[in-house]
């Protein structure tokens, strides 16, 4: 019996689409290098298959979250430059060097610890210096960055990349974008000769003046729209289907799901699907009183998800479908067929990033385009 027959959902990941998305962004930013962010298990799509595909396609700079991810990427991409965004955790400098990983230094404390390690061992693998220009999350302050800028004139400064991160690039006219661009431009002058990077996925679409020496797309590679409010320029990457395990009839005025948060306004036919929040489909995905929910595609038509999503199942209202068109054992399309990760994220009160990185491990995974 095939594995897909004994699982509640099938997740199909299109590696060719990921490659096409990377190549599109790389083509848009020439001659600037286009890296790839593969953290979060390749945004939920699988770190190893995603890295393998992008590395074969020519991507030579990759960003991960931590040392564990970096080691997995290094096993595949032997010659790649790999940056660890979480930087130097206490005592982790030797592990970074052992796997030939470059930390993104996010504070003076990290910089001091890294400098001590380099001075003691003579390691010359380099590191990125992250200066915060407005995100207020990680990174040295601008003043701290200015204070150590004289170091860039030394031949042994040890920095292979100067970077910052947009906070609002997905809102192209947000005033913080201009402020961050201006601050980073001034920093680049102080760190002249060191490659620089500012643009994430959405930042790439702000124009060539922010591309610097390296762009580092993440979510756009996996089909998230980097230009909200406009047509998505990226190819969709995932399709998620859930198996219908029961079709049942519910009378008018009956409640559905936990908390009786949804009540039927008519005699209703439900398709109960074997996917729930344990699989990464948000509990808030179904319609409840005063709130519409997500949609799914059953028998070629969009139908609403109703009631609170349970750990292992969700309910779809298929009343408007012809009798017999939704059957036990059939599949409902939860992502795909025009329902993108951004649409599902919005219906769940979140974003496409969270939809992707929450994809559960119970699905039968199919990789195509390999």
Report how far residue 210's alpha carbon sits from residue 317's, in angstroms, rounded to the nearest whole number.
47
At how many degrees (to 10) do helices 47-57 and 67-76 cross?
Answer: 50
Report how far residue 127's alpha carbon sits from residue 112's, in angstroms, rounded to the nearest whole number.
12
Report how far residue 290's alpha carbon sits from residue 261's, in angstroms, rounded to the nearest whole number.
9
Q: For the chain, how many helices (H) and strands (E)?
A: 11, 19
Residue of 252, 258, 289, 368 marked active site: 258
222 is catalytic: no
Q: Which residues contact 25 (CB under 8 A, 6 or more apart)?
A: 34, 201, 204, 215, 217, 220, 221
In the numeric block, which tokens belong to residue 2?
């095939």
Residue of 39, 83, 191, 222 marked active site: 39
Specify the DSSP class assigned to residue 167: S
43 is catalytic: no
Report in angstroms the alpha-carbon separations of 352 from 23, 44, 290, 347, 361.
21, 11, 23, 10, 18
- Stretch (H or E) spanning 67: helix 67-76
Report how far residue 366's alpha carbon sits from residue 12's, in angstroms, rounded to the nearest whole number.
5
Please identify which residue in the block is written with the tokens 């699982």: 7
Residues with catalytic roles:
39, 258
């Amino acid at each position: 019996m095939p594995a897909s027959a004994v699982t509640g959902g099938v997740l199909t990941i299109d590696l060719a689409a990921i490659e096409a998305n990377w190549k599109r962004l790389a083509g848009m930013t020439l001659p600037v290098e286009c890296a790839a962010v593969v953290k979060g298990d390749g945004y939920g799509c699988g770190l190893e298959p995603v890295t393998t595909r992008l590395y074969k396609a020519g991507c030579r700079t990759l960003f991960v979250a931590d040392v564990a991810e970096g080691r997995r990427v290094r096993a595949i991409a032997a010659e790649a430059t790999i940056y660890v965004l979480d930087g130097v955790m206490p005592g982790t400098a030797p592990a970074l060097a052992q796997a030939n990983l470059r930390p993104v230094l996010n504070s003076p404390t990290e910089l001091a610890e890294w400098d001590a390690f380099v001075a003691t061992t003579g390691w010359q693998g380099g590191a990125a210096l992250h200066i915060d220009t407005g995100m207020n999350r990680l990174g040295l302050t601008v003043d701290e960055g200015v204070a150590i800028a004289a170091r860039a004139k030394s031949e042994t400064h040890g920095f292979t990349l100067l970077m910052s991160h947009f906070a609002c690039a997905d809102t192209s006219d947000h005033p913080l974008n201009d402020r961050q661009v201006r601050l980073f431009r001034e920093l680049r002058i102080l760190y002249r000769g060191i490659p620089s990077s500012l643009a994430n996925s959405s930042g790439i679409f702000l124009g060539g003046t922010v591309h610097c020496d390296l762009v580092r797309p993440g979510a756009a590679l996996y089909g998230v729209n980097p230009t909200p409010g406009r047509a998505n320029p990226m190819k969709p990457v995932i399709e998620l289907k859930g198996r219908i395990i029961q079709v049942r009839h519910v009378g008018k005025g009956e409640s559905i799901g936990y908390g009786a948060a949804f009540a039927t306004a008519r005699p209703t036919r439900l398709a109960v699907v074997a996917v729930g929040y344990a699989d990464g489909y948000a509990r808030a995905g179904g319609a409840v009183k005063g709130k519409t929910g997500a949609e799914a595609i059953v028998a070629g038509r969009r139908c609403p998800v109703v009631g609170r999503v349970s750990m292992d199942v969700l309910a779809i209202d298929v009343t408007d479908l012809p009798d017999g068109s939704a059957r036990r054992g059939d599949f409902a399309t939860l992502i795909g067929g025009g329902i993108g990760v951004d649409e599902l994220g919005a219906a769940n009160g979140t974003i496409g990033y969270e939809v992707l990185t929450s994809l559960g491990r119970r699905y039968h995974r199919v990789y195509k385009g390999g």
